[in-house]
Structure 1
C-alpha cells in the first residue's frame, strides 16, 4: 500500500468562502457609519442640553444674587436706584401697592411695594428681569423715656443721679 501525497492545488475548491468579500466589507462600513452618525447626534444633543442647563443655572444664580442685594433696599426710603455688583448692575423702581400704615403704638410706618428689578451686564444687555414684593418702613416716632429714666424722675432712692 502506497500512500498518495496530499492534494495541493493553486485553486482552492471553495474559492468564494475565504475572508471577507468586498460586499461584506461595504455593508460593515455602512453599518459603522450609521452607528457613528447616531452616536454623534446623541453626543450633540447631550452637549446642547448641558449648555442649556448651564445657562439656566447662571440665570438663577444672577437672580438670586439680585434678590440678596435687594434685601438691603428699603423701598419706602429709596423708590428707585442702582447697585453695581461688578460684572452686572441691579436697577429697581418701587411702586406702593397698599396705603401706608401708621399705627399709633408703633415707631414705624410700613407699606407694601412692588419692586421691578432689572439686572444688566456692563454692555447693557438684560440678564434678568423680575418683580419683587417688599415691605417698606420708615421710623416716625422716638422710643420715648425708658423705665430707668422714669425711675430717676420719680425719685427712686435706689438710683443715683
Structure 2
C-alpha cells in the first residue's frame, strides 16, 4: 500500500538530492582534493559553526545567556567533532579499495536511511515555514529559534545525503597524486 508513495519519494525527492550530493563531492574532489567520504564531516563542522554564530546572535539580541551558552557549547562540540572526523577521514588514501568500500557503504545508506533523509528535509522545511510565519506576524524574537533549527536540520540532512550519494571515482580529477588506478 505504501510502495507507490515510497517509490514517488525515492524518485522525485530523494534521487535529485543524491545527484546534487554526488556532484558536490565530485566538485570538492576535483577542485580541492577533499576525499569524498570526508565531505560529510565538513558539513558537520559547518553546522557547528552555525550553532556558534547563532549563540552569539542570541546572546546579543535576546539577552538569554543560558540558551546562548547551550548553543555555543553544542556548536563547539558538534563542529569540533566534525573537524576531528574530517582530519581522520582525510588521512585515508582515496584509491580503488577505499572507493569500493565507500560505494558499498553509500548503497547501504541509500537503501536503509531514506526515512532519516526525508524526515530531516521535511522538518527543516517546516521549521523554515514556521520561522517565516512568525517573522511575518511581527514576532521576530520567536522566529530565530525555528530558523536556527531549520539550518541545523538541513545541514544534518545534507550530511546524510553526502553519506548516501555514490562517491566519484578516484581517477576523476586527482591532480595531486594517483595512488592506484581504479578502473581495471
Both proteins in one fold, TM over 0.5: no
> TM-score, with normalisation over the residues of structure 2?
0.20
Computing the radius of gyration over CA atoms, which structure comes out larger, 1 or 2?
Answer: 1
Higher helix fraction: Structure 1 or Structure 2? 2
